[in-house]
Amino acid sequence: MPIVIDDIERVGRGVGPWTIPARRAFAKSSAYWVLRRSLNRYVARQTAGGRSFLIAGHRGAGKTALVEQVVNDMRWDAIESVAAGGVVDAPRRPFIVKLHGPSLIAPTWGSLPSKDSEDPQSVTEPAHRALIQITLALYRAFAQEIGSGFELHAQAVVPRTDHLEFAGQLQLELDQAPDPATIRYFWKRLSRLNAGVLWPDPPAGLDGLPADQGVREVVALATAAQAFRVCAGKPSQTEANSDAFEREIEAKTTGGLDFKGAANKLMGVVLGVGASALAQANQRSLTEIIGLGLATGLLSTLALNWTDTRRTTRKRARDYTFIRDFSVATLDRELPLAIDRIKSAGLVPVFVVDELDKIPQSAVKIAELLTQLKHIVTDFGFFCFLTDRDCFEAMGLAINASAYPVEHTVFSDRLLITYEPPELTEHLRNLTRWDDSAGSEEKEIDRRAQRILVLETVLRARPHFIDVTRRLARACDVNDQVRATSDDLNRPHCELAATFQLAIQLVFEDPVTRMRLEEDPGILQHLVDTLYWPVGAWEREEAEFEYDEDRLRTYLAARGGAGSTPPTAPTLSFLLDRLSALFDYLEDTTRISARLLSGADANKPWATVLPTFTSALVSRDA
């Protein structure tokens, strides 16, 4: 019966429209659990400050996949907990903010520009450039989370009407970094100002979200958008106030003293009488005489009135103008604020700096960058720096060369992704299955073929995660069925490869090996390289394999690359001892069978893969 590779996990799980996407099964090494524990404590606010990890490994070791697996596992656990009503406090979940290492790190270094610089917007010091890249990536990733959550809630509205179109409009608005009023309008339109859009609704009658969850999201998005605008353009804001004071006093006096008024009136009468007498002397009519007298008296009175006016005026004006500083020099203050408000909304950013192995002398430049941005990296964020083994080894040399350098203290931990052979073997065993409808004899043949397939795959992958994935992909057809039949896998050359792998795993499970790995986990990669060293010679069908301390040192130096940390003399002695233990098993395979059958019950079935036609894979000269 054909063997099937079933490497898809978590299919069908989900909460309403919050469906967990299908993904390939992941082999969880010790690095997974170290990172998972630290991130879990950080998300739960059980630790103060930030965290930073240096995650290293050969190309294809699964560095990015490791971080994504940890984040996604915690993400969906949190979503399911909220949907089930199992959250008593404000829920939080991580999300990934991807950063391109070569864009973040430059050859030369400077300090952050001050706000008093003549043109701070044009300053391009590397530390300042790094802040810009972090801010831009943070907003983009957060906007993506917001847009996805908004769309999921729009799908849940019945009837949907134009809500899906409205969700698409929000996506376009997010590209422009909208202002707070615009953001609030969208939340209010979808009636999510209370519950928000980042989480599914808890069951009816159960509290699982803060009462102001939607408001927190609006505040966080507005703050992140403001920081984004600072980096993407040149915003400006002016606030002007004016204060004016004016006072006017006017005093006006009309008339004069009574004596003068009386004299004026008397003078008017006298003039009027005189005018009348003159008119009579000129033989005027009575009417003309009376009119001339009245007019003369009135005019004389008006002509003699007077007016006195005095005016005092006081004025005072004051103008006040506030121009907000939107220069990029303020990012060292704006970025922590944005991170804190995003956390308050329930999302915890995990900054993943990838492709650092593409930078020459990356170990030195990473240390210099961390010195410049220590307040961001170690106090406010969770950072994962992904690099290769050369950088990891170079940092190890720097740490050993001086007392507590920056490389020693700035990282919460340094993880070198290396899978122990038993870990990958168990992972592959869980991925393979066969048709249970066959008879008992056929089932046993299929089980043996499955074990041989697993062991041979791990052996030839050395055991490198991407090589394991590639070998499985090549072995399967479009229906995920292994093309090789059980009879093919039960042939001698496959049995020998499986036996070689079993011998290596027994060396790893030996108490001497386990004790040394517990004391010094850093030698794991050296141990893997050492035990798989003879595999290449065996695959090339070389008649002899010679090893000693000098040859082993040269081989490990080539595996580690330039700048790698050479193993110490005690470590070399231990590695040679483990290599000798491997050849002890290969020289007499009955020892393998005896160890498997006398050990745990889970190991006993593996003894069935041992070949019956020979009891020795190698012969060793005295």
pLDDT digits 0-9 by tens, 277-296: 665 666 656 566 566 556 65
262 and 204 belong to one structural domain: no
36 and 115 belong to one structural domain: yes
Burial of 264 (0-12, 13-18, 19+ CB in 10 A): middle
470 and 571 belong to one structural domain: yes
pLDDT at 534: 95
Residues 6 or more apart whose CB falls under 8 angstroms from that of 93 comprise: 43, 74, 75, 78, 79, 346, 347, 348
**Mean predicted confidence (pLDDT) in 3-12:** 74
Q: Is the peptide bond before 159 cis (omega within 30 degrees of 0)?
A: yes
44 and 75 belong to one structural domain: yes
What is the torsion angle, in degrees rounded to the nearest 10, for the CA atoms of residue 42, residue 22, residue 463 and residue 616?
Answer: 130
pLDDT at 123: 44
Mark which of 398, 416, 434 sits at the end of a domain: 416
**Mean predicted confidence (pLDDT) in 210-234:** 90
- Indicate whether 241 belongs to any domain: no
The token pair at 97 is 């903010």
Burial of 52 (0-12, 13-18, 19+ CB in 10 A): buried
Residue 496 amino acid letter: L
Least reliable range by pLDDT among 371-380, 456-465, 467-476:
371-380
What tens digit of pLDDT does each residue of 140-168 get?
999 999 999 999 998 887 666 677 888 89
- Indicate whether 473 belongs to any domain: yes
Contact (CB, 8 A) for 64 and 386: yes
What is the SS3 assignment for 481? strand
Closest CA to 127 of 104, 101, 100: 104
Ordered alpha helix ranges (H), 476-560: 486-489, 492-509, 511-519, 524-531, 533-539, 549-560
- Indicate whether 111 belongs to any domain: yes
Scan for tokens 């394991």, then name that residue.
Answer: 468
**Mean predicted confidence (pLDDT) in 452-462:** 94
Closest CA to 231 of 87, 165, 134: 134
Beta strands in 207-341, from DSSP E residues, in sequence order: 238-254, 307-323
What tens digit of pLDDT does each residue of 164-206 get?
888 899 999 999 999 999 999 999 999 999 989 999 988 765 5
The token pair at 174 is 């997010």
Least reliable range by pLDDT among 4-18, 319-333, 474-488, 583-597:
319-333
301 and 197 belong to one structural domain: no
Mark which of 352, 381, 416 sits at the end of a domain: 416
- Indicate whether 319 belongs to any domain: no
> Taking the alpha carbons of 186, 188, 193, 196 in that order, is the dihedral positive or negative?
negative
- Indicate whether 242 belongs to any domain: no
366 and 515 belong to one structural domain: no
462 and 584 belong to one structural domain: yes
Residue 108 amino acid letter: T
Scan for tokens 């958008």, then name that residue.
Answer: 225
- Indicate whether 340 belongs to any domain: yes
Closest CA to 365 of 102, 1, 549: 102
Residue 164 amino acid letter: L
**DSSP assignment of 307-359:** EEEEEEEEEEEEEEEEE---SGGGHHHHHHHHHHHHHHTTEEEEEEEE-GGGS
Residue 112: pLDDT above 50?
A: no
pLDDT at 304: 46
What is the torsion angle, in degrees rounded to the nearest 10, for the CA atoms of residue 480, residue 425, residue 28 and residue 528?
Answer: -130
pLDDT at 333: 81
The token pair at 65 is 């996949």
Q: What is the largest CA-CA distance in the chain?
A: 175
pLDDT band at 58 (very low <50, low <70, confident <90, very high): confident
Residues 6 or more apart whose CB falls under 8 angstroms from that of 205 comprise: none
d(CA 184, CA 41): 32
142 and 265 belong to one structural domain: no
Mark which of 416, 438, 462 sits at the end of a domain: 416
190 and 41 belong to one structural domain: yes
How does the average pLDDT of the chain come out, rounded?
Answer: 81
d(CA 504, CA 425): 11
The token pair at 358 is 């593409």
488 and 370 belong to one structural domain: no
List residues bridging with 99 in a β-sheet: 353
Least reliable range by pLDDT among 157-171, 191-205, 233-247, 523-537:
233-247
Residue 105 amino acid letter: I
453 and 389 belong to one structural domain: no
196 and 86 belong to one structural domain: yes
Residue 372: pLDDT above 80?
A: no
Residues 6 or more apart whose CB falls under 8 angstroms from that of 100 comprise: 133, 354, 355
- Indicate whether 446 belongs to any domain: yes
pTM (two decimals): 0.79
> Taking the alpha carbons of 560, 561, 565, 567 in that order, is the dihedral positive or negative?
positive
Range of the domain at 473: 421-609
Burial of 557 (0-12, 13-18, 19+ CB in 10 A): middle
How many distinct structural domains can be found in the chain? 3
Contact (CB, 8 A) for 616 and 500: no
- Indicate whether 7 belongs to any domain: no
